[in-house]
Amino acid sequence: MSKNLFKIIIFSLILSNLNNGIHPEKIKQKKPWNFMVYITRNNDLFPFAALNIEQMKKVGSNKNVNILVQQDVYGKEESKRIFIEKDKQTEIEKVTTRPECISGTPESLYSFVEWAIKNYPAEKHALILWDHGSGIVDIDIWKNIFKFNPLALYKINIETGLFELNRELLSKRGICFNEIFEVYLNNQELKETLKKVSENLLKNKKLDVLAMDACNMNMLEVASQVKDYVKYMVGSEEAEPGTGWNYELVLEPFKNKTQTTEEFSKNIVTSYQKHYEKSYVDFTQSAINLEKINLLENNIDQIAKQLILLLKSKSNKKICKNINKLLRNRLKTTWFANPDYIDIHHFFVSMHEMTSKMLKIKENKDIKKELEKINQLTKIGTEIIKDLVIAKTFCSSLPFVQGLAFYFPTRRIHKSYPKTDFAKSNSWYNFLKTYLEK
């Protein structure tokens, strides 16, 4: 075979791959990481997507990482798949087939991850969900979420010169919300999609990192949804500014070396702190080792059972009164943009103090056994949280947070909550029902 004929054959193969939506990167050696960013921008966050992609381009794909993005085209049934290089972005493929092309659907998310994993071989995979987030509650979003400009979510404090949450504007808000087509990924759909990714694409292995550049997603209940298919979860207990992460800082270590899964998860948290600590008052970010989340689930299950016994005892009014005091006191309980989401560690510390005081009162001898168990269990729970939260950052206005929230409504339980894995398997849900009936 002549050299010219050989070149023609190779060139033809490359053209064929491009026509099939396969970038020449596929023929290269397997890389240490895939950094897969699923951008749902058919909503009021649209202006920030370009900013974040520009940040990614400052690092670009290299021998250590493939930077892969899918973003929808605003107002259209179309998504673009992009390969990010240093100072360059290349559109590899357009997706126009429903429902894969409409962001915020299980089909769209799975199709993107399938494309990335099959066409860009890597040892480890990080999936970043970019958009609004509403934590564990899947609400009737179209009635209220998009009635404000995300730029107005934070306001500047004239005295400090720092941005803080505009709590007067906040209203309750799943993840990956598509405003144009009024769809979003609820927590059950997220779980089923990750299950398919694990079973079909990763040969029953777990996704290395699930990170959420979105509000209110670092919750125990969300962790429970994804724990069987994800090793580490990274996100925020609090709302996030519309600008989200600084992707240049997140990706910067890949310029010179690869990272372990734990190192990468920690670096996301460190990058977030660097980006916001000098300009914002209300921010959090944390990385969770999901291999240990079962310990906390079991701990809370035991605490809930003891609380239920107390609420069914003659001392139920006293117990309710004391819990109410904790929930109303910002020094005893940290709540977030959604006030039904509270930091678990802070609440456990306060519960431990509360039960310690109650044990010293003679009149409480009839409930001594339950109080002692809660006192011991909350102490154990705080240690478990410190162990499974491998990195955290928080601002001066949230000094007691430790990186993981859970659901504690004070008026009613949202109709979507009983559908979650955590509510189905943990006594915490039964405690909430009992507590709210008192």
SS (H, E, C) 280-328: ECCCEEEEEEHHHHHHHHHHHHHHHHHHHHHHCCCCHHHHHHHHHHHHH
Task: Calculate the alpha carbon distances from 311 to 277, 305, 308, 351, 436 in Å.
Answer: 42, 10, 5, 15, 10
Mean pLDDT of 127-146: 64
The confidence score (pLDDT) of residue 149 equals 46
The confidence score (pLDDT) of residue 8 equals 43
Same-domain check for residues 232 and 362? no
Same-domain check for residues 270 and 334? no
The confidence score (pLDDT) of residue 215 equals 79
Pick the range with the lowest mean pLDDT from 100-104, 197-201, 371-375. 100-104
Instruction: Give the pLDDT band (50/70/90) at residue 362.
Output: very high
The confidence score (pLDDT) of residue 45 equals 60
Same-domain check for residues 82 and 142? yes
Same-domain check for residues 157 and 64? yes
Asked if residues 251 and 65 have their Cβ atoms less than 8 Å apart, the reply is yes
Q: H/E element holding 79?
A: strand 79-85
Distance of CA 132 to the CA centre of its chain: 10
Instruction: Give the pLDDT band (50/70/90) at residue 181.
Output: very low
Same-domain check for residues 233 and 299? no
Same-domain check for residues 179 and 276? yes
- Domain holding 332, by residue range, is 294-389+399-437
Judge whether 123 lies within some domain.
yes
The confidence score (pLDDT) of residue 227 equals 98
Judge whether 2 lies within some domain.
no
The confidence score (pLDDT) of residue 132 equals 55
Same-domain check for residues 218 and 356? no
By the 10 Å C-beta count (0-12 exposed, 13-18 middle, 19+ buried), 108 is classed as buried
Q: Phi and psi dihedrals of 283, rounded to 5?
A: -155, 150
Looking at the chain, the whole-number percentage of residues with pLDDT higher than 90 is: 65
Judge whether 155 lies within some domain.
yes
- For Cα atoms 51, 56, 59, give the angle at the middle one, nearest 5 degrees: 140
Judge whether 15 lies within some domain.
no
Asked if residues 14 and 25 have their Cβ atoms less than 8 Å apart, the reply is no
Of the ranges 13-22, 39-48, 77-86, 226-235, which is most confident?
226-235
Asked if residues 111 and 95 have their Cβ atoms less than 8 Å apart, the reply is yes
Distance of CA 368 to the CA centre of its chain: 39
CA 158, 162, 164, 169 torsion: positive or negative? positive
Judge whether 6 lies within some domain.
no
Distance of CA 318 to the CA centre of its chain: 36
Same-domain check for residues 351 and 269? no
DSSP letter, residue 213 = E
Same-domain check for residues 231 and 334? no
Q: What 3-state DSSP class applies to 127? A: strand
How many domains does one find in the chain? 2
Mean pLDDT of 391-395: 92
Mean pLDDT of the chain: 84
Radius of gyration of the chain from its Cα atoms, rounded to whole angstroms? 23
Same-domain check for residues 232 and 367? no
Tokens, residue 134: 């509403």
The confidence score (pLDDT) of residue 46 equals 56
Q: Last residue of a domain, which of 249, 274, 291?
A: 291
Judge whether 4 lies within some domain.
no
DSSP letter, residue 94 = E
The confidence score (pLDDT) of residue 175 equals 45
Q: Last residue of a domain, which of 265, 291, 317?
A: 291
Mean pLDDT of 73-85: 86
- For Cα atoms 211, 214, 218, give the angle at the middle one, nearest 5 degrees: 60
Question: What does pTM read for this prediction?
Answer: 0.85
The confidence score (pLDDT) of residue 140 equals 53
Judge whether 17 lies within some domain.
no
Same-domain check for residues 230 and 299? no
**How large is the greatest C-alpha to C-alpha distance in the chain, in angstroms?**
98
Q: At what angle do helices 293-311 and 368-388 cross, to 10 degrees?
A: 160
The confidence score (pLDDT) of residue 91 equals 95
Question: Within a 10 A sphere around the Cβ of 320, how many other Cβ atoms?
Answer: 16
Mean pLDDT of 345-374: 97
Judge whether 1 lies within some domain.
no
Residue-wise pLDDT tens digits, 9-64: 444 444 444 444 445 444 458 999 999 999 876 655 657 788 999 999 999 999 99
Mean pLDDT of 70-79: 80
The confidence score (pLDDT) of residue 228 equals 98
Q: Last residue of a domain, which of 244, 267, 291?
A: 291
Same-domain check for residues 58 and 182? yes
Mean pLDDT of 72-101: 86
The confidence score (pLDDT) of residue 277 equals 80
Mean pLDDT of 228-242: 89
Residue 102's DSSP bridge partners are: none
Task: Calculate the alpha carbon distances from 220 to 236, 342, 403 in Å.
Answer: 12, 11, 10
DSSP letter, residue 200 = I
Q: What 3-state DSSP class applies to 339? A: coil
Indicate whether 224 pLDDT > 50. yes
Instruction: Give the pLDDT band (50/70/90) at residue 158.
Output: very low
Pick the range with the lowest mean pLDDT from 170-179, 320-329, 407-416. 170-179
